[in-house]
Amino acid sequence: MAVILRVLLRWTGWLTLSFIIVVAALALFHDLPGRISSWKHEANDARATAMSLAAARSNFEEGAQDAVSKADREIAALRSAGAAELKRAESEITRQRSEARGRILNSSQIAWAAARGQTDTIVASYRAQYLELLLLDRAAALISVRLSNLRERAKLATQLRSIRDRIDAHNRKVADFNRRLQDYTALQQRAKMQWRNPLCSQAAVPLVCARVRRVRELKKDLDQHRPSLDQEKRVLKAEKAAIRALRLQREAVADGQRVAGEAVAALDHAARESSSYAENLAWNKTERALRRYGWQAFWIVIGGVLLPVLHKAFAFWIIAPLASRTAPVRLREPGPSLLAGPSGVAVDAPIDRETELLVRSGVQDRSSDIRVDDKLFFKNRMFLACIAAGLVNLQRFRSSRHDHVTVTGTDDEHYEVALIDVPEGGAMVLQPRALVGVVKPRARTLAIERPWRLRWMISWITFQFRYIVFHGPCTLIVQGRRGVRVKDAAEGRATNKRLVLGFDAGLAYGAARSSSFRPYLFGRASLFDDRFTGRGRYVYEERPAGAGKGSIWGRGLKGIGDAILSALGI
């Protein structure tokens, strides 16, 4: 019951998760066509706006020059206008300012207008903001200065009339003062005789000293009027100096050409920003990349697809037939033939007091009194090949009587193992990857030869230049996927290259083209099958390791590494 509940819960959970995923996918992709259409429309509008702004530059510049010329003529008219005309012009400028401000767009409105392709509205906004308002401000500033100057001139005229009248009055006073001064001087001359009279010098007797008394009165009057005249003179002089120092404001205006240039520069900046925005949109970037690199990418993809096919076709139809006609490699003269038993999941490797067993792993069963120790490399002089083939950290088994050790395959439960006896005088070429262990005499070093075959054409065609040869007497424990088979090659045999594990060193080893092109094209077969002729036997596994993992494009770095190890016989 618990098992049924777990199955139901797992099934319900998967259904619920699948339902949620489907709902999320439908929600995400429901509006996708509309979004794509919106992106495309936005990109096209932005590109069109940028192009329209760039195209409107010449007309904008020409219109700016015309507006500046008209504004200059109005400025010239304002310089000679009266106060009433200036007031009317000021009212008109206020109205035009209001209209210009109404045409100015903020950043969001400009973006909206650009999205709708309203280029004329954007250009009108820039004309109003950077040209019309500046020209109107220039005229308004001139009107303000000129009205102030007119008021100052009117005030100055009034002041000039007032001071002129006061100067005239002052001059009359001065003339009167001078006349009385002359009278005083003349009277003083006539009164000299009376001044010499002691009576007149001490006390002015009315009848005797009448002139002296008059002189004294005139002098007192003159002394009273002289300070006031001097003060009035100083005041008038100061006021005249103040009037002379009075300066009217300069009726200067900004240069219209500079205003026009700044307006054109603002439009150019807007055009560049619009163009940059359009270029940075994903849709326009994609279109630009496709226009620039589309055909190159297309031919690269086509080349990437067809080049491996053409290469394999050339290799299959041209190189492979030549390889089939080249001379095979024979490492030695035929000797005693190999002996092999049936393969199985496990085999009993016999040992006695004269022999020892070296094995990588996979020991299933042994006697308790068998001595076991470790060996770092299968053969010290071949440590690099041992590392590449995995023949490191071996176990060595020795017994003082007839006994056996049960050995199984390594790495995969699909491997089976078999015992292959290499008799005295015999030799076997074997791929080290297939070797699980070896039973050899204790008193003899296992003879392993590594002959090179660089001068043979077949070596360059099959890209295998070195072979690993095990010399007897010894018993090799060989593993193969799904089983190990041993066949006689007396009549000449061709075998899938991926299946071959080894062969009698006395056989003639060559290459034969694969049976058909399609399996080779799709990586299910090698270009060459191994061909064996002569007296002797060869060993192969039932199924190739990694079968079905190839493809038209190969297997990347792993394939390169496998090719190098194959060239070295490993």
Q: Hey, which bits of 45-167 come out as E strands?
A: none
d(CA 267, CA 61): 9
CA distance 117 to 304: 43
Confidence (pLDDT) at 170: 81
Full pLDDT tens readout for the chain, 570 residues: 676 777 778 888 887 887 788 777 766 666 667 667 776 776 777 777 777 777 777 787 788 888 888 888 888 888 778 888 888 888 888 898 888 888 888 877 777 777 677 778 888 888 888 888 888 888 888 888 888 877 877 787 787 788 888 888 888 888 888 888 887 787 777 666 555 555 555 555 555 566 666 777 777 777 777 888 788 878 777 777 766 665 556 666 667 777 777 777 777 777 777 777 777 777 777 877 888 888 888 888 888 888 888 888 888 888 888 777 888 888 888 888 899 889 998 999 999 999 999 898 778 888 888 888 888 787 777 777 777 667 777 889 999 889 999 998 876 778 899 999 999 989 999 988 888 899 999 888 888 888 888 888 878 877 788 898 999 899 999 999 989 999 998 778 888 888 999 999 999 988 888 878 888 888 777 888 888 988 899 999 998 865 444 443 445 555 566 667 666 666
**Cα 15 to Cα 7: distance, rounded to the nearest angstrom:** 12
Residue with tokens 């694969």: 514
CA distance linking residue 111 with residue 123, whole number of Å: 13
CA distance 425 to 215: 175
Tokens matching residue 515: 């049976």
CATH class as words, domain 324-567: alpha beta
Amino acid at 147: L
- 501, 484 in Cβ contact below 8 A? yes
- What one-character DSSP code corresponds to residue 328? P
Antiparallel, parallel or unpaired: β 500-504 and 427-430: antiparallel
Identify the pLDDT of residue 350. 92
Please say whether the dihedral angle defined by the alpha carbons of residues 312, 318, 322 and 324, taken in this order, is positive or negative. Answer: positive
Helix (H, G, I), strand (E, B) or coil at 363: strand
Q: Sketch the domain layout of the chain as residue ranges.
A: 175-245, 324-567
Q: CA dihedral defined by 26, 27, 33, 38, rounded to 10 degrees?
A: -170
Cβ proximity of 438 and 475 under 8 Å: yes
The DSSP 8-state label assigned to residue 315 in this structure reads: I
Asked if 120 contacts 170 with a C-beta cutoff of 8 angstroms, the reply is no
* Segments of 128-241 assigned E as strands: none
Give the up-direction half-sphere exposure of residue 293: CA atoms within 13 A in the CB hemisphere.
7
Helix axes 32-55, 256-280, angle to 10 degrees: 150
Quote the DSSP letter at residue 542.
S
Which pLDDT value is given to residue 501?
92
Find out whether 478 and 420 touch, Cβ atoms under 8 Å: yes
Which spans in 410-555 are helix H? 457-462, 517-521
CA–CA distance, 506 with 56 (Å, rounded to integer): 90
Distance CA 220, CA 218 (A): 5
pLDDT at 420: 94
How far apart (Å, rounded) are the C-alpha atoms in residues 438 and 419? Answer: 9
Predicted local confidence at residue 158, as pLDDT: 81
